[in-house]
Amino acid sequence: MGAEKTLTVTSFDVMPDSRIKPSALFRYYQQTAREHLDSLGLCFDVMREKKCVFVITRMKQVFYKDIRGYDEICVKTCSRGIRGAVFTRDYSVLRDGEVACEASTQWALIDLESRRICRPSVYADYFDKQEELCSFTDIKKCQLPETLEGKYTYRVAFSDIDENYHMNNTRYTDICLDAIGGLDKGESISEISVDFLSEARFGETLEIRLDRLEDGYCFSAENVDTGKHCFNAIIRTRR
């Protein structure tokens, strides 16, 4: 069985045009998924005792209808099973009984100390395929232009860090939107794709290359301190 959570979008979880911030939606996803894991007996403390943690590696989010401040929404989540070392988790958000947006995410289980991928088979029974909440089933890598003209530098702040001692995955889209100076008037987000390639820790500096696409924006970030590629992202928009 999956899990679901009904909540009301708060005034501080929206952008100036009253549409929900992607980061707020991702926080709702994260909390609903965490409560689902808790119900399975895989709460944070138990995973810490086993010295392992789930980290997101890829996600795709598609918006069909606007979600605005004070809307009541129902967030649903379930596992789509394990394939190789990849755990897939889907989400669907209903507003007024209709699907407003949906997302699919891929996760890896890593050793908390070595940061290496753990064998997922020991948890296979917890993550049998339950159902498919998304109309799309394949999350592809972000395809970026060879050259990105823009540049934005970001230093990871203490407020970005979560219980895994790295920047929480919900923060990446906020940084991307900051890098472009926000959306243009009349522009709204239709789709977001992110490849999470390496973690970013407190105090580390990200050098982000970015550019405009015909239907949105693209981003590629390097961690200056580790020399590793941190993330790629595409935000597609409509008017």
Residues of the chain with pLDDT below 50 are: none
The shares of helix, strand and coil residues in the chain, as percent rounded to the nearest 5, are: 20, 45, 35
How far CA 126 is from CA of 22, 76, 81, 133, 157, in Å, comes to: 28, 17, 9, 18, 35
55: alpha, beta or left? (left if phi > 0; alpha if psi -120 to 50): beta
Residue 24 contacts residue 71 (beta carbons within 8 Å): no
Question: Does 2 share its domain with 111?
Answer: yes
Domain count across the chain: 2
Question: Does 112 share its domain with 47?
Answer: yes
Residue numbers of the domain that contains 86: 1-138
| pLDDT value for 41 | 81
Q: What's the full length of the chain, in residues?
A: 239
d(CA 26, CA 45): 22
pLDDT digits (tens, 9 = 90+) for 86-125: 888 999 999 999 999 999 999 888 877 777 887 766 666 6
**Is 0.75 topped by the overall pTM?**
yes
CATH of the domain at 156: 3.10.129.10
| pLDDT value for 161 | 96
How far CA 6 is from CA of 21, 43, 72, in Å, comes to: 17, 21, 7
Question: Does 126 share its domain with 190?
Answer: no
d(CA 166, CA 175): 15
| pLDDT value for 122 | 64
d(CA 108, CA 54): 6
| pLDDT value for 63 | 97
Nearest C-alpha neighbor of 182 from the set 38, 19, 10: 19
Question: Does 115 share its domain with 71?
Answer: yes
Q: What are phi and psi of 18, to 5 degrees?
A: 80, -5
| pLDDT value for 14 | 97
| pLDDT value for 179 | 97
pLDDT digits (tens, 9 = 90+) for 14-40: 999 999 999 999 999 999 988 888 888
| pLDDT value for 16 | 94
Question: Does 105 share its domain with 212?
Answer: no
